[in-house]
Structure 1
Amino acid sequence: MSETIISAPENSTDAENRTDVEIGTDAEIGAAAEVGGLTPYLDRLRVPATLRPGSGTEKIELRSTWVRLHSQMAPTHVFAYNGQFPGPTVEVRSGQRIHIAWTNRIKNAPYPVVAGEAPAVNGAPAPHALPGRGDGFVEIKEVADLPAWSVTHLHGAETGGGNDGWAENAVAYKDAQLSEYPNEQPATTLWYHDHGMNITRWNVFAGLVGMYLIRDEEEAALHLPSGKYEVPLILSDRNFETDGRGRPTGQLLHKVRRASATPDAESGKFVTLPFSGPYNLVNGVVWPYLDVEARWYRFRLLNASNARIYNLALVDEDNRPVRGAIRQIGSDGGLLPRPVPVEYDEATLRGLSIAPAERMDLLVDFRALRGKKVRLVNVGGQPAGTPDPARDVLFPQIMEFRVGALPVVDRFVLPSVISSSFRRLTHDTPHGHRLIVLSAPGTKGGAGHPEIWEMVEVTDGSAAPGQDGVIALLGEGEQTPKIYRRIARTFDDALGFKVAHGDYELWNLLNLGGPTHPMHIHLSQFQVLEREVYDVSGFSPAGATTTSPIRYTGANPVPDNEQGWKDVFQVRRGEMVKVMGQFTGAHGRFMYHCHLLEHEDMGMMRPFTVMPREVLVFDHHQPGHGGH
């Protein structure tokens, strides 16, 4: 018999947990100016209910439902876990083994997303970033006919391959995906989302996301803000259809931009870029507000967007940065060793960078802000709080915090050490090596899109630069380039990476050109050891090879908030990001991929397996086995 506990957040009323939204006062409405047809900071933040599974099998149902994303819009049709967008926050204890039946209850529902492309033009703002379809929009008719076909992946979970949510093992109406989660992990912030092969970008866009928290004794001993003072913040961006007056209707619109005005020469198809929408949502509400007390709060921040990398800043009502209020105490895989101050740098215009699928555990001190309003905004590349059309940030608003005027008693004291159990990995740890190359858009054979290339070193002279899929790499302190040959580039290519259970491996992720790729590796948590900088001008996309060696030129520092456990890594153009982790806790077939969902669906995903070392003794020795 299940002992499931489902509760509303302590800082929410029953009305706040409905699928509609609660608006502000008449005075607040009258004083606010509309942006993109909607009034910012009009609706109260909706906080998902908490689900604490018991000893039985927990059923979480995928349902078709209608949700108010803003009180000035009509309800939006979504697919959602337990009929909630976002889904309920699942909360477990470390070591608590649970079973979930992800049950598809979506019957013959029309697909909730209209998808299409906007033409490429010079100038800003780009047409795909504007609300509504706009001129030149071409609908992808096949999306309207998609079935509710979904598989759920618990992102960051150490669980067996059969429970991980393999992309091709999606289920349809009446079927269930049965998954077991051991939760043998330290306290951390995970999340669950759809991972259906080829259509993840639309299924997630339709609403299939939710947060998952693991708690342990080390976290409890910190006496962090809890209850109504601990709030999940799930960021996402959307576009909507518009009516005849240019106001959003609530209909989800996945409008992306073509990379050029002409189709790719090889494939004859148009190349589309990842999605970025003008409207920012937090917990499924467009530009909400949250009433807070003048005390410390804990926010579990998740970027659940398809592709937008946020550059966040906390500002006052005059768009001036608020100093000294934010500390980061955790990242993807758990608590950081010590709190990291988060400040907006006015010289570099850099704030808190969070890519799709990254999580950040934040403490915010509102004590010095009593009686004020402060806002979280997406900076882009402009001064805080101002639009940046060049980076698709037409509307920088995210959410507003309204700090109470009354003094409160808050006995929380920020400790100087957060996790005393954390240990930093080093190159002295015995480990294997992998080289993964992220090819530049337009590279020969890639149909215009970037790809994941798995590489092996060649030492017998059987491959040379100038040949398709061969690169020369000159690392730090090396006088002679190493030669690497591509062994796989598409998801359906032969399995290349086979890992012995318990092994540590160093994965070297090299971006040869194009956008920043947030790379995610299933099953394990990793530490970022280095961010090396390379001159990648020697790579020829036309030849899919190097005409001169790719050369090491220096290194970027690893920021303090990347010094903990992570499973998503921002790999920027010309960077080789070196991440180390131990493949332990489970066996089976897993995936790694770019978490720009449009890139994932268009081929930037590869499988790998984890097997007992004793079994690998009898392996068929396909390329890439052994971590070399």
Structure 2
Amino acid sequence: MTQTVEEGETVENLAQKIVEAVSGSAATRDGELVPYVDPLTVPPVIRPDQPDVRQEIEIALRPTWVRMHSQLPPTLMWGYEGSVPGPTIEVRRGQRIRIAWTNRIPPGSEYPVTAVEVERVAGRPDPHNRPGREGVEPGKDVAALPAWSVTHLHGAQTGGGNDGWADNAVGYGDAQLSEYPNDHQAVHWWYHDHAMNITRWNVYAGLVGTYLVRDDEEDALGLPSGARELPLVLADRNLDTEEDGRLNGRLLHKTTVLTREHPETGKPVTLPFLGPYTTVNGTIWPYLDVEDGWYRFRLVNASNARVYDLVLVDGEDNPVPGVVHQIGSDGGLLPRPVAVDFEGGEPLTIAPAERFDLLLDFRGLAGRKVRLVNKAAGQAPGVPDATRNVPYPQVMEFRVAEGACADTFELPRVLSGSFRRFDHDHIDHGHRLIVLTPPTTVGGGGHPEIWEMTEVKDVDVQVPTTGIIQVKGPDGKVRTYRRTARTFNDGLGFTIGEGTYEQWSFLNLGAPLHPMHIHLADFQVVGRDAYSVAEFDPALGGTRAPVAYDPGRPIPVPANEQGWKDVFRVAQGEMVRVMGRFDGAYGRFMYHCHLLEHEDMGMMRPFVVMPREALKFDHGGGGHGGHH
């Protein structure tokens, strides 16, 4: 159930109307909601048909009331066109469109998110896993936030002026006009808020949606479509409670702070948001009635920070093999289908902002119920892993109808004949090294940072020194790098000629895992290498000995990462190497960690793409980085 707040009607009046309409469904105490009682919501679809690109489409941001679960009162959220998630936008390749993302959230509207920080105390349950504010007063600064938003079409190749630059957010009555050429292979993009400093709360409030590009190559595969192709927008949420412990439906952004103080600032270290409840298309633990045939699901992890380890299980929590096949990743179709087995204990892992194009074969499951769950210690199959911090494993349930379904679809052996892997050794390309630092690093203020590094050659450098990283690579050579940027507002570091290829290497010197996203370009994961990290001294802010490649810990690139990607999981002690071509647009763009709390706290940097001819006159020295 969704009800939009119209202009001229107060939020309080509409809230009273809705509460009266659902007064018979009281919220439960202690967060105990019944799973799989509400049907999956399917967002509306917008298929632009304007013959003239100058006739833009308006998509308005509005307050809306959402029933996240039938046992809950309505939740105030913000939605595109009053829908959470927003409408699925569907276009053909090369169909250029303009969208006016218009802010229609009335002045003085209540900010829909209550935000608190709760201290984690040793020996007590993790506050992440519980609803309610733990007696902590909400943050007044968050409650006072205005409706200030800018929309980023994640994955799109479009000019910097259309990309949703974080500072260019708009207020009530104003519009962000963006043009999208859509000259891209069939792909699943998604759109979401990207306002500077407050993305974590605006996205949490509901500002997300799905965007699909179709093309002839995809059409020729005859993939499941229509009612058998559905978006699945995955996001975790927490909810506030009344004094008597009843869930009141209000969105709660509860983060925890460690009792261990940061050695430099003396302040506790704040962890990214993790919520106990999983929503799919805005509903907590929904179900979907399906026939015993093939279905296509366009899955995106729209969570602030939750990494999901998904497993398909039966009613006895046993894994169900042979049903799930991944056919696409962030940037489009994979070269070949990848079977997801689950029997070996391996889940389907999806980090924030990643997209998976999945085919599920329900043939042979007629009359049965199977469930998608998030693996957690003692709660789902597989190797126990408490780090995922999952109090409830439920995600959603599929109810397979009885009766034979005439489905003649056959899984293709090859999906994309147009896909080609990059030949690293035969492509002229530049190199960049980006280091991801632990939150205890000196000068970081208690937050992890992005360090842009430049190789130091023919210059004597004192080692060890703050901002100096030495790396011993697979070839045994030691290279020395100097930090040239660490915050968003430091000087521009990367200037790239349009149409050129680059390899970016992300080295994670400390926990946690960071899903790194680069705007504009499609990339391929060239390799994952294990590195020692103990040689990096956070108190110094540099290495005391070279961090070294570890040949004894090979990390293969899995089959479902060998297509087009724009989000890359970078774990502690890993260097992830990705290669892409920066083509199709000019302007100023961003790259960042897609843990939204990290992005807002500084793990974001700008880069510029300009014509190669103009780059020859560049005075900033931001051209290609050194070899590594």
**CA contact under 8 A between 1:373 and 1:402: conserved in structure 2?**
yes
**Within 1, Cα distance between the matches of 2:166 and 2:380?**
39
**Could you say which residue in structure 2 is the equivalent of 1:306?**
304
Match of 2:341, as an amino acid? Answer: E
2:191 paired with 1:192: yes
- The residue type equivalent to 1:399 in the other structure is M
Contact 2:454 2:625 in 1 (8 A): no
**Alignment partner of 1:204: what SS?**
helix
User: Residue 87 of structure 2 aligns with which residue?
Assistant: 88
Report matched runs for 1:197-596 at 5 Å. Answer: 197-262=196-261, 264-346=262-344, 349-382=345-378, 384=380, 391-428=388-425, 429-478=427-476, 480-554=477-551, 555-596=554-595
1:52 is the counterpart of 2:42: no
- Give the whole-Å Cα distance in 2 for the aligned partners of 1:261 and 1:458: 36
Describe how 1:577-616 pairs up with structure 2 within 5 A: 577-616=576-615
Q: SS of the residue aligned with 1:367? A: coil
Aligned counterparts of 1:64 and 1:572: Cα–Cα separation in 2: 37
SS, match of residue 31 in structure 2: coil
Displacement of 1:305 in angstroms is: 0.2
Distance 1:470 1:138, change over 3 A: farther
Q: How many residues align?
A: 593
Mapped partners of 2:556, 2:387: distance in 1 = 27
Structure 2 CA distance for partners of 1:416 and 1:278, relative to 1, 3 Å = same
Which 5+ residue runs of structure 1 have no aligned equivalent? 1-18, 21-28
Specify the SS of the correspondent of 2:325. Answer: strand
Show the counterpart of 1:177: 176
Counterparts of 1:247 and 1:44, CA distance in 2: 23
Instruction: State the Cα distance separating 1:36 from its structure 2 match.
Output: 3.0
Preserved contact between residue 29 and residue 247 of structure 2 (Cα < 8 Å): no
Indicate conservation of the 8 Å contact 1:463/1:485, yes or no.
no
Aligned partner of residue 94 in structure 2, secondary structure: coil
TM-score, normalising length: structure 2? 0.92
- Tell me which residue corresponds to 1:105: 104
Distance 2:486 2:396 in 1: 40
Q: Measure, in 1, the Cα distance between the counterparts of 2:593 and 2:367.
A: 42
Query: Match for 2:78: what amino acid?
Result: F
Matching residue's letter, 2:580: G
Tell me how far apart the structure 2 counterparts of residues 246 and 393 of structure 1 sit (CA, whole Å).
Answer: 21
Q: Distance in 2 between matches of 1:592 and 1:313?
A: 30
Q: Deviation at 1:616? A: 0.8
Partner SS, residue 368 of structure 1:
coil
> Who is 1:126 aligned against?
126
Alpha carbons 1:35, 1:395 under 8 Å: kept: no
User: How many Å apart are 1:267 and its aligned residue?
Assistant: 3.2
Query: How far is 1:602 from its partner?
Result: 0.3
Q: 2:153 matched to which residue of 1?
A: 154
Give the letter for the 1:582 counterpart: R
Cα separation, 2, equivalents of 1:330 and 1:423? 14
Code of the aligned partner of 1:40 = P
Task: Please give the alpha-carbon distance, in whole angstroms, between the structure 1 residues aligned to 2:237 and 2:584.
Answer: 37
CA contact (8 A) 1:505 1:627 kept: no
TM-superposed deviation, 1:244:
4.0
Give the % identical residues. Answer: 60
Calculate the aligned-residue CA RMSD, in Å: 1.8
Q: Displacement, 1:382?
A: 4.5
Kindly indicate whether the alpha-carbon contact (under 8 Å) linking 1:385 and 1:396 is maintained by their aligned counterparts in 2: no
Instruction: Report the Cα distance in structure 2 between the residues aligned to 1:230 and 1:464, rounded to whole angstroms.
Output: 59
* CA pair 252-385 structure 1, distance change in 2 beyond 3 A: farther
CA distance in structure 1 between the aligned counterparts of 2:140 and 2:275, rounded to whole angstroms:
20
Determine helix, strand or coil for the equivalent of 2:424.
coil
Alpha-carbon shift at residue 277 of structure 1 (Å): 0.2
> By how many angstroms is 1:350 displaced?
2.9
Report if the CA contact (8 A) 1:336-1:418 is conserved. Answer: yes
Checking the alignment, whether the CA contact within 8 Å between 1:65 and 1:78 is kept in structure 2 is yes
Residues of 2 paired with 1:313 and 1:215: CA distance? 29
Counterpart AA for 1:494? G
Deviations 1:278-313 (A, max 9, x none): 000000000000000000000000000000000000
- How far residue 271 of structure 1 moved from its aligned partner, in angstroms, is 2.5
Compared CA separation, residues 224 and 72, structure 1 to 2 (3 A): same
Please state how far the C-alpha of 1:430 moved relative to its aligned partner. 1.3
Contact in 2 for aligned 1:527/1:566 (Cα 8 Å):
yes
Is the 2:128–2:276 Cα contact (8 Å) retained in structure 1?
no
AA at the equivalent of 1:367 = R
Q: Which amino acid aligns with 1:391?
A: R
Contact 2:37 2:287 in 1 (8 A): yes
Question: Is 1:64–1:83's contact at 8 Å kept on the other side of the alignment?
Answer: yes
* Matching residue of 1:115: 115
| Residues 377 and 385, structure 1, Cα contact 8 Å, conserved in 2 | no
Distance 2:597 2:270 in 1: 8
Inter-partner Cα distance in structure 2 for 1:148 and 1:270: 29
Cα distance in structure 1, aligned partners of 2:66 and 2:158: 32
Relative to the length of structure 1, the TM-score reads 0.92
Conserved in 2, the CA contact under 8 Å of 1:117 and 1:128? no
Over 3 Å counting, the alpha-carbon distance change for 1:389 and 1:38 in structure 2 is farther
Structure 2 spans left out of the alignment, 5+ residues: 1-16, 19-24
Distance 1:549 1:388 in 2: 31
* CA-CA distance at 1:268 after TM superposition: 4.5
Distance 2:526 2:578 in 1: 6
